[in-house]
Structure 1
Amino acid sequence: MNKEQQFVQTIQNQLMQWRRWFHQHPELGFMEYYTTYTIGKELEALGFTLHIGQGAIASSSRYGVPAAHLLQQQEEKAASLGVESDWMNLMKGGHTGLVATWDTGKEGEHKAFRFDIDALPIHETESEAHLPYSEGFISSNPGVMHACGHDGHITIGLGLAHYIAAHHSELTGSFTFLFQPAEEGGRGAKAMVDNGWLTDVDSFYTGHLGITPMNIGTIAAGVEGFLASTKLNVHFKGESSHAGMKPEDGRNALLAAATASTQLYTIPRHSEGASRVNVGKLEAGNGRNIISDTGYLELETRGVTGTINDYMLQEAKRIIHASASMYNVEATIEFVGESEGIVCDEDMLASIPPEEDSYINQILPSAKVSGSEDASFMINEVQAHGGKATYMLFGTALPFNHHHPSFDFEEDALSVALETYIHLLQGGTTT
């Protein structure tokens, strides 16, 4: 057993404890105050240089920042949980996430690693068959859940940071860790990119637990199929009136929103590749005898290329405005997130040797995926400046899909992922 495997073995219990703690304390995008603070204090103790708040992200490049009253509620909660005031002052207003750097002082590559940290607005399953419930680490925030594995991604990042701190004398070059807020909805990555963290990176690595079911110990060195995407919120504004006495004076925003939500699915699919549209949320109405004056949609478009996604987006906008016109109401479209396509560089994991006692059993060159990832901005930024980048998958069984109230992953996958990342450091070692 080599030193990488020995290190993973010694930290396995800690990995599980970190994962379960973060699972129990989920926070939504740009409201990960307690999460950011907990990560930062761990890295600070290891000796990393920290960049927090607007030192980590470009404020104006954030997408879909929650309303001010929601941010304030979460800030007050984080303060009550012990987040120090100087940290809160840096993060307030939705400036969550952090960047941590380590320079060995020896010539070598600049390697960057991204780990997403946000949760989802999902109420977690309360069933003995669900491990987080049966083992007592279910979400403590009703209606918010780590239903996509980001609690595991944070854990992997902390494990890798501990390895660097313990073995920095053997390493060369420099390392940048991006603990990214608001991945869900494609909202947070660009804000880190626009702060300049990736302009001089030689190698960039990120990845995901699951996505597609694979055996523990299996890694996909890259992915194919992530879609470009645009996220929209739509507000319909009409005029309310009594539904029995003066229906003719009303302008029905509920019907406009409902019409748009169904007609969006009639957009012809593109002949040159995959295209998607989905309405994920519809709210409207005041009461049974009131012509509704408001309607609200949350939706997304996707395409296998930026051009195809743009086609879906323009058609979606046309249908939204046509639906509004049909009922003589106004429609305001709010852009709240996006992602680009990804082309991974090949052979970035070629340096990982097959070894006995390794947690890694198999490395696949690539895996087919769908969905979208705002890490696309990071990957494309690194490649645009001459660096190499990839997006990895780490095998686990997936009895329930991502974004499901019963989602969970096999915790042994944490050790596989950590050993993978540690090997990727070894391209910069002293002999």
Structure 2
Amino acid sequence: MNIDACLEELNPKLIHWRRTFHAFPETGWTEYVTTYRIYEQLQALGLTVYTGTDVVETSARMGVPSDQELYASEKRASEAGVPEEFLNKVAGGHTGVVAVLKTGKPGPHIACRFDIDALPIEESDTYDHVPAEKEFASSLPGSMHACAHDGHTAIGLGVATWLAKNRDELTGTYTLLFQPAEEGSRGAKAMVEKGWLDDVDVFLGGHIGIEDLTVGQVAATTEQFLATTKFDVHFKGTAAHAGKRPEQGKNALLAAAACAQHLHAIAPHSQGATRLNIGTLHAGTGRNIVPDQATLTGETRGETNELNDYVFQEAERIIHGSASLYGVEAEMKVVGKGTSAVCDPEFTRMLEQASIRTAAITEVLPVLSLGASEDVTHMMNRIQARGGKSTYMIFGTPLPAGHHHPRFDYDEGVLKTGAAAFILLILECNQRGKQR
């Protein structure tokens, strides 16, 4: 099988898919148009495709948007051409797609995961930002693919296309998970709880970028997955006239502001890296009113689950202490959670051996540090707990701006590299399965 010939044939499609998804970025649990477009492509390949409540466990979803936001997103999807019958199946934030290919021949069960959601970021429109220059920048104000999930989705469709074309030469079963709501660590657990990873032998995941590398470099494994907890806090006080009766008010804004300051003073831990960030704070309704409502959103992270728990427990203490200090109430809600994980090291040797079959991979790095959180860890841990093997790769590309930045972009040559890495590891695992 000529891998490079396959990749050259796929490459125009990879770029087209990437740009299509980039131009219509949808945030977690609202990826209705994205889900439909993925579904259409997979159906055309003759794979068995699942959507809606067949894909995610409703009660295991985290950080689902309000009914009003979901309704607005569904209306937008309808206006964009998503059929009503399909929308009914995925309504209420049941986005994401799973595709399954069964060869009917004994062999390993291999699962691959590709995240599909965007971020609430206003994309740059400057002339030196390639998506703006080439006219595929976000068409949705306030939303942007600023973390390469558009590319991950394109790679996933490329892998699906290759699997469908070569099904007669393969053995075993292949499950492709197009996961919603990765941002905020909200979506993977809902797929895990649905049982999609329960009988998988090999799990493959990956990410474009992370570090400023060159196209062709691939890290076969990743370390330093930070465990994380995402939380919302609502402070409820008492409104009052700020001039005539200020003593009758209980100031929720001041409680929230003090809380934010004190949270960033949590002591680091001697046993490893910890993080905390407050991302938003909204409060008050007018300059002459003692504000009775305030909401902040934040996150904790830790190099291990125990370190993350330390930061989160300290955050809880400070949140309720700040509320008490100003005589207001504080309601805290966890809206996302990710764990730590460890890749299986044998994938380094496997990818090194397989990479000689393509020019798309120029160097295999044994390991690269993520230094951030990824809810793919729920999937990796479930598979390893049941005796399977997991890895999470990183695909190198120059980065003109960092992840989660309005000018984030990457070299589209990385799409071919990413597809090559998945395909080669699938072939390597397939061959090892035959040898057993």
Please state which band the TM-score falls in when normalised by the shorter chain: over 0.9
Residue aligning to 2:376: 375
Residue aligning to 1:21: 20
1:37 and 2:36 matched: yes
1:162-208 Cα offsets, whole Å, 9 max, x none, are 00111100000000000000000000000000000101100000010
1:372-430 Cα offsets, whole Å, 9 max, x none, are 01000000000000000011000001120000000001100000111111112213258
Contact 1:359–1:416 under 8 Å retained in 2: yes
Q: Secondary structure at the match of 2:27?
A: coil
Shift of 1:18: 0.6
Shift of 1:86: 1.8
Which consecutive residues of structure 1, in runs of 5 or more, have no partner in the other structure?
Answer: none
Shift of 1:357: 5.2
Mapped to 1, the partners of 2:347 and 2:310 lie a distance apart of: 33
Residue aligning to 1:320: 319
Residue aligning to 1:7: 6
Mapped to 2, the partners of 1:318 and 1:109 lie a distance apart of: 48
Residue aligning to 1:111: 110
Which consecutive residues of structure 2, in runs of 5 or more, have no partner in the other structure?
Answer: none
Task: Report the CA distance shift for 1:58/1:113 in structure 2 as closer, same or farther (over 3 A).
Answer: same
Shift of 1:356: 6.7
Residue aligning to 2:395: 394
Contact 1:236–1:256 under 8 Å retained in 2: yes
Residue aligning to 1:344: 343
What is the percentage of aligned positions where both structures have the same residue?
Answer: 49
Mapped to 1, the partners of 2:105 and 2:4 lie a distance apart of: 25
Mapped to 1, the partners of 2:408 and 2:115 lie a distance apart of: 17
> Segments of 4+ in structure 1 off by > 4 A?
none
Alignment of 1:27-426 (within 5 A): 27-352=26-351, 353-355=354-356, 358-426=359-427
Mapped to 2, the partners of 1:248 and 1:19 lie a distance apart of: 57
Task: Report the CA distance shift for 1:393/1:129 in structure 2 as closer, same or farther (over 3 A).
Answer: same
Mapped to 2, the partners of 1:274 and 1:380 lie a distance apart of: 21
Mapped to 2, the partners of 1:169 and 1:357 lie a distance apart of: 22
Task: Report the CA distance shift for 1:94/1:356 in structure 2 as closer, same or farther (over 3 A).
Answer: closer
Contact 2:148–2:208 under 8 Å retained in 1: yes
Contact 2:3–2:358 under 8 Å retained in 1: no
Size of the aligned set, in residue pairs, is 430
Mapped to 2, the partners of 1:355 and 1:227 lie a distance apart of: 32
Shift of 1:354: 4.3
TM score, norm. by length of structure 2? 0.97
Mapped to 2, the partners of 1:102 and 1:212 lie a distance apart of: 33
Shift of 1:93: 0.3
Mapped to 2, the partners of 1:391 and 1:354 lie a distance apart of: 16
Q: Secondary structure at the match of 2:264?
A: helix
Contact 2:3–2:357 under 8 Å retained in 1: no
1:104-125 Cα offsets, whole Å, 9 max, x none, are 0000000000000000000000
Q: Secondary structure at the match of 2:111?
A: strand
Letter aligned with residue 428 of structure 1: N
Larger CA deviation: 420-429 vs 125-134: 420-429
Task: Report the CA distance shift for 1:394/1:332 in structure 2 as closer, same or farther (over 3 A).
Answer: same
Mapped to 2, the partners of 1:37 and 1:356 lie a distance apart of: 34
Contact 2:26–2:118 under 8 Å retained in 1: yes
TM score, norm. by length of structure 1? 0.98
1:52-100 Cα offsets, whole Å, 9 max, x none, are 1110000000000000000000001101111112211110000000111
Larger CA deviation: 419-428 vs 371-380: 419-428
Contact 1:349–1:424 under 8 Å retained in 2: no
Letter aligned with residue 363 of structure 1: V
Contact 2:358–2:420 under 8 Å retained in 1: no
Task: Report the CA distance shift for 1:78/1:350 in structure 2 as closer, same or farther (over 3 A).
Answer: same
Shift of 1:214: 1.3
Mapped to 1, the partners of 2:358 and 2:320 lie a distance apart of: 60
Contact 1:106–1:172 under 8 Å retained in 2: yes
Shift of 1:13: 1.1
Contact 2:355–2:424 under 8 Å retained in 1: no
Larger CA deviation: 78-87 vs 298-307: 78-87
Mapped to 1, the partners of 2:186 and 2:338 lie a distance apart of: 8
CA RMSD of aligned residues (A): 1.1
1:298-324 Cα offsets, whole Å, 9 max, x none, are 000111111111111111000000100
Larger CA deviation: 279-288 vs 379-388: 279-288
Q: Secondary structure at the match of 2:331?
A: strand
Contact 1:189–1:378 under 8 Å retained in 2: yes
Letter aligned with residue 430 of structure 2: G
Mapped to 2, the partners of 1:249 and 1:198 lie a distance apart of: 56
Shift of 1:285: 1.4
Mapped to 2, the partners of 1:35 and 1:41 lie a distance apart of: 10
Larger CA deviation: 74-83 vs 176-185: 74-83
1:1-58 Cα offsets, whole Å, 9 max, x none, are x521111011211111110000001001000000000000100010111111110000
Task: Report the CA distance shift for 1:342/1:253 in structure 2 as closer, same or farther (over 3 A).
Answer: same
Mapped to 1, the partners of 2:211 and 2:103 lie a distance apart of: 36
Mapped to 2, the partners of 1:378 and 1:212 lie a distance apart of: 23
Shift of 1:369: 2.1
Letter aligned with residue 155 of structure 2: I
